[in-house]
Amino acid sequence: MDKKWEIVFDYLMYLIRENKVHPGEVLPSQNMLKTKFKYSEQPIRIAFNKLIELKIVKPVNGKGFVVQDKITNNLLFSFRELFPDSINKYIYFSEVICDKNLSLESGYLENSILYKIKCIRWSNSNKIILFQISYVLKDKYLGLTLKLLNEKGLMNFIENKTNSIVSHATKKILYTKHLQEVISEFEEMDSDLEGLILDQGRVYDIFGEILEFRKSYYKAEQFEWNFVEWRK
């Protein structure tokens, strides 16, 4: 179980990430959070101090903790933000059993029943941006269908049809020439490509449970990530 301050921190990050509180607006007060979580002041103060350290919020006298603009704090919640007008098309949705290799890679328990999901993301100029393979626990996504995925997307389903609150993701980003898996999974993939940018990671809820394991394959010419590196 996460420490108390981490649970408060993840909740505040959820409010910011999902635009429940916009840049320039004030986060819930410490007193409100004490009432909500039934915690003492200390873990709540630690959570706010972490947000200040990361330049995500700024304390303002007489107002509280104000959310900073993403340009100021360099907070990128998803590479989807690099392609704001892109469209996801989900093309595959089926049950699979988590074998040993997938368990080691994804973090799911071996023999768990998973949903395997395949998606292609298109730009507004009708160019393919990425190919994505995801795995989610069936028990956490009761009622999920391919139709719902194409209508609303996976994150929308999590937020509105489950009790889970998305907290954060861990990512490993690399250039890979091992394309056998993605070529076999997507007939739209160019077989003469030399390599792709692989964004592999897990999405977690506020209690540290895995909500999704995904592999996103970008064409190198479509991938550009500009950022500012802050010195601690």
* Per-residue pLDDT tens over the stretch 102-123: 999 999 999 999 999 999 999 8
Contact by Cβ (8 Å): 146, 93: yes
* CATH code given to domain 79-222: 3.40.1410.10
Ordered by start, the domain boundaries in the chain are 4-73, 79-222
Which residue has tokens 């194409």? 150
More confidently predicted of 227 and 136: 136
Confidence of residue 125 (pLDDT cuts 50, 70, 90): confident
More confidently predicted of 83 and 98: 98
Residue 34 confidence (pLDDT) = 93
Contact by Cβ (8 Å): 86, 79: no
Average pLDDT for 176-205? 89
Residue 72 confidence (pLDDT) = 52
Average pLDDT for 178-195? 87
Q: Is 9 exposed, middle or buried (0-12, 13-18, 19+ CB in 10 A)?
A: buried
Confidence of residue 174 (pLDDT cuts 50, 70, 90): very high
Confidence of residue 78 (pLDDT cuts 50, 70, 90): low
Contact by Cβ (8 Å): 212, 145: no
226 contact partners, CB below 8 Å, separation of at least 6? none
Strands of 113-122's sheet in order across: 87-97, 113-122, 128-137, 210-218, 196-205, 166-176
Contact by Cβ (8 Å): 73, 32: no
Residue 232 confidence (pLDDT) = 45
* CATH code given to domain 4-73: 1.10.10.10
pLDDT in tens, 46-71: 999 988 887 788 999 989 999 987 64
Average pLDDT for 75-92? 73
| Other beta carbons within 10 Å of 220 | 12
CA distance 44 to 100: 40
CA distance 7 to 9: 5
